[in-house]
């Protein structure tokens, strides 16, 4: 959903970027004796002190395995773990707590859906994805192409990076079984028209998964209003720990799906000749879960929900406008992805310079950016590229950092002129 469509409670404090920035200890570091300018948030975001404190407390004060124990620490740890599930439910506005499945991240969440729904996929069934998907939302569907004979269809993107909704609609047929589309491209910054994607998918009776790895960071998500069958999030981009994420799934679908992994916790009964499965979400959470990571994620989501997220979005949009304007003034710098309303990242190339060299030179100035294919090789092929650099912004980045980044690019240009 668009941020513009959702109101923010007047009880939320106004957004003060310097006040929020002070909550992230790592941002005070110096790199090569230069202030750290961290612009690799699309890969992984930094963590506020309250998340770090929650992780330390989870290990140092309350740690125990969850759900199974009858002792005090187990009860305390279980309560904190399930409180984090409630935070995830509120973050995406799921109807039921049981619709939130903890996973290792977005990658595992997508694999879970692909493998569980894969039991129903046969030869000539069709799966629709887009040209701008991350490998995590490509490879699991290729598995079904390889192993079940499914057909993989690719929704195109326009030259400016916009999602071509009419071309997407023409791909949908009675054979379409699954649609899996990113909410926001990690390369182009394009915000997909997810509400319209869901509506069109529903018309042909297919299931729809939205990859929220980037989108949930910058957009306010309401899965009930959106109507998607599945939505996935990853914790480390949401200012939380790595190794944790979650899957939202409509309860009636989760209750019908076969488990993705087997082990403890996900069963009802086990005998020598039969097993029964637990109800969702636990049937999809085999084994000891990432307990402290989940607690840290819950804290990160609470932190985000405590902000005026429309003001955060406005701040990030201003950073994007600033950096785009200044990069365009430089000359010899090409930005890929100019779709209207795109998210706060710029993927680019500097004439005559390899992306790795650009990244390395910026790094010597304390500026962290990403270089490579960004786990989106089909999109790189579509754009005729082998590698690009990417600067991606978070709520704690400042306009002063934009200026430092531009100065760094200017020095790179001078070296390769």
- In angstroms, rounded to a whole number, what is the distance separating the alpha carbons of residues 83 and 102? 12
* Helix boundaries (H) for 98-242: 106-118, 139-148, 165-171, 194-203, 215-218, 223-226
- In angstroms, rounded to a whole number, what is the distance separating the alpha carbons of residues 219 and 184? 9
207 alpha carbon, distance to own chain's centre: 20
Nearest to 367 by CA among 335, 385, 389: 389
Whether cis (ω within 30° of 0) applies to the bond prior to 108 is no
Question: What b/e sequence results for 314-328 when a residue is b if at least 16 CB atoms lie within 10 Å of its CB, and e otherwise?
Answer: ebbbebbebbbebbe
Catalytic residue among 367, 375, 395, 404: 375
Q: Is 375 a catalytic residue?
A: yes
Residue 270's SS3 state is strand
Contact of 245 with 233, CB cutoff 8 Å: yes
Count Cβ atoms within 10 A of the Cβ of residue 92 and give its class: 0-12 exposed, 13-18 middle, 19 or more buried: buried
Nearest to 244 by CA among 301, 200, 303: 301
Residues annotated as catalytic are 375
């Amino acid at each position: 959903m668009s941020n513009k469509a959702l109101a923010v409670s007047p009880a939320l404090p106004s957004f003060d970027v310097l006040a929020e920035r002070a909550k992230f200890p790592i941002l005070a570091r110096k790199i090569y004796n230069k202030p750290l300018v961290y612009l690799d948030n699309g890969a992984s975001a930094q963590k506020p002190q309250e998340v770090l404190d929650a992780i330390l407390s989870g290990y140092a004060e309350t740690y125990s395995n969850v759900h199974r124990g009858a002792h005090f620490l187990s009860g305390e740890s279980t309560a904190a773990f399930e409180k984090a599930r409630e935070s995830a439910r509120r973050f995406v506005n799921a109807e039921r707590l049981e619709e939130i499945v903890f996973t290792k991240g977005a990658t595992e969440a997508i694999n879970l859906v692909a493998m569980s729904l894969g039991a129903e996929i046969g030869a000539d069934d069709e799966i629709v994805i887009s040209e701008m998907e991350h490998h995590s939302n490509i490879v699991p569907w290729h598995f079904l192409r390889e192993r079940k004979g499914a057909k993989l269809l690719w929704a195109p993107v326009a030259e400016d990076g916009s999602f071509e909704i009419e071309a997407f609609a023409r791909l949908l047929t009675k054979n379409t079984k699954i649609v899996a589309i990113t909410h926001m491209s990690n390369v182009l910054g394009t915000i997909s028209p997810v509400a319209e994607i869901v509506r069109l998918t529903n018309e042909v009776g297919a299931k729809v998964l939205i990859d929220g790895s980037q989108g949930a960071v910058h957009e306010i998500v309401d899965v009930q209003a959106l109507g998607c069958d599945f939505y996935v999030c990853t914790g480390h981009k949401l200012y939380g720990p790595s190794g944790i994420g979650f899957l939202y799934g409509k309860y009636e679908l989760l209750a019908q799906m076969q488990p993705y992994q087997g082990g403890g916790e996900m069963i009802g009964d086990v005998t020598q000749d039969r097993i029964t499965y637990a109800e969702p979400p636990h049937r999809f959470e085999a084994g000891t879960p990432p307990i402290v990571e989940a607690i840290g994620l819950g804290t990160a989501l609470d932190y985000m929900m405590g902000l005026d997220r429309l003001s955060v979005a406005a701040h990030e949009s201003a950073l994007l406008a600033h950096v785009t304007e200044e990069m365009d003034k430089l000359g010899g710098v090409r930005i890929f992805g100019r779709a209207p309303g795109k998210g706060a990242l710029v993927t680019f190339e500097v004439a005559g310079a390899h992306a790795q060299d650009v990244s390395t030179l910026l790094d010597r100035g304390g500026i962290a950016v990403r270089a490579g294919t960004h786990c989106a090789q089909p999109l790189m092929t579509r754009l005729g590229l082998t590698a690009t650099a990417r600067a991606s912004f978070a709520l704690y980045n400042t306009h002063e950092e934009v200026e430092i980044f531009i100065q760094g690019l200017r020095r790179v240009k001078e070296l390769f002129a």
